[in-house]
Structure 1
Amino acid sequence: MIKRAIISDLNDLLAITKCCAKHMIDKKIYQWNELYPSKEVLQNDIELQQLWKLEVDDKIIGLIVLTDIEDAEYKDIKWLTKNDQNLYIHRLAVHPEFQGKGYAQKLMSFAENYAKQHKFISIRLDTFSQNKRNQKFYKQQNYKQLGSIYFPKQSEYPFYCFEKIVNV
Structure 2
Amino acid sequence: MIIANSSSNDIEEIFRLYRLATDFQRTKNIVLWPEFERSLIETEIAENRQWKIVLDNEIACIWVTAFSDPQIWGKRNADPAVYIHRIATNPAFRGRNLVAVIVDWAKKHARENHKQFIRMDTVGENTALINYYKKCGFDFLGLVKLGDTDSLPGHYHDAEVSLFEINCAV
Structure 1 residues 99 and 71, CA, compared in 2 at 3 Å: closer, same or farther? farther
In the superposition, relative to structure 1, how do residues 104 and 163 fare at CA in structure 2: closer, same or farther (>3 Å)? closer
- CA deviation map 1:51-108 (0-9, x unaligned): 11111111112111122122423215xx4xx724211111111122321122222122
Q: Which residue of the partner structure matches residue 111 of structure 2?
A: 116
SS in 2 for 1:120: coil
TM-score normalised to structure 2 length: 0.83
Counterpart amino acid of residue 89 in structure 1: I
Tell me the equivalent position of 2:134: 139
- The one-letter amino acid paired with 1:108 is V
The 3-state SS of whatever aligns with 2:60 is: strand
TM-score (norm 1): 0.84
Contact 1:94 1:104 in 2 (8 A): no
Could you say if the C-alpha distance between residues 12 and 71 of structure 1 is closer, same or farther in structure 2, counting changes exceeding 3 Å? farther
Shift of 1:131: 2.6
- Are residue 32 (structure 1) and residue 33 (structure 2) matched? yes
- Across the aligned residues of Structure 1 and Structure 2, the Cα RMSD in angstroms comes to 2.2
Corresponding position of 1:51: 50
1:90 aligns with 2:85: yes
**AA of the residue aligned to 2:112:** Q
- What is the number of residues matched between the two proteins? 162
State the 4+ residue runs in structure 1 displaced beyond 3 angstroms: 149-152
Which 10-residue stretch deviates more, 97-106 or 6-15? 97-106
Judge conservation of contact 1:31–1:128 (CA < 8 Å) in 2: no
- Cα displacement string for residues 95-143 of structure 1 (whole angstroms, at most 9, x for unaligned residues): 2232112222212221122112322111111012243232112212332
Letter in 2 for 1:137: Y
CA–CA distance in structure 2, aligned partners of residues 6 and 91 of structure 1: 17
Check the 8 A contact 2:82/2:110 in 1, yes or no: yes
Select between 2-11 and 107-116 the one with higher mean Cα deviation: 107-116
> Where does residue 3 of structure 2 map in the other structure?
2
d(CA) in 2 for partners of 1:110, 1:162 = 17
Q: 1:128 to 1:10 in 2, by over 3 A?
A: same
* Cα distance in structure 1, aligned partners of 2:107 and 2:145: 23
Q: Share of identical aligned residues, percent?
A: 20
Q: 1:125 maps to what in 2?
A: 120
Is 2:119 the counterpart of 1:148? no
2: distance between equivalents of 1:131 and 1:140?
14
